[in-house]
Amino acid sequence: MEIKILGTGCPKCKTLEKATQNMVSELGIEATVSKEEDIMKIMEYGIMRTPGLVVDGKVVLSGRVPSSSELKKFLTV
C-alpha cells in the first residue's frame, strides 16, 4: 500500500502524518507513508484544502484530520 500525506507543513498536516504512521503500525499494515509538500504536485491531485490523504493513488480525504475510526476505515478498505 502506498500512502501520501498532502500538505505544506501546517499543524493539521503534521497531525495527519503522525496519526497515519501510528495507525499503519497499530494495524500492522505493510505500507509506504510519504509526505508531499510541493504545492504544484498537491494541486495535481485536485484538492483545494490541506491536509490530504491519498491511498494507492486515490484521494480519500482533504481539508481536515479524520477521527481514528475514520482513518482506520480508509486504510483497511
Q: What is the pLDDT of residue 77?
A: 74
Domain spans of the chain, in order of start:
2-76
How far is the C-alpha of 55 from the C-alpha of 8, rounded, in Å?
18
- How is residue 32 written as a grid cell? 509506504
pLDDT at 29: 93
Active site residues: 10, 13
pLDDT at 15: 96
Is 22 in a helix, a strand, or coil?
helix
Specify the 3-state DSSP secondary structure of 30: coil
Q: Which residues of the chain fall short of a pLDDT of 50?
A: none
C-alpha closest to that of 7 among 61, 57, 52, 40: 52
- Among 3.40.718.10, 2.40.40.20, 3.40.30.10, 3.40.640.10, name the CATH number for the domain at 2-76: 3.40.30.10
**On the CB side of 56, how many CA atoms lie within 13 Å of its CA?**
7
Could you tell me if 9 and 61 are in contact, meaning their C-beta atoms sit under 8 angstroms apart? no
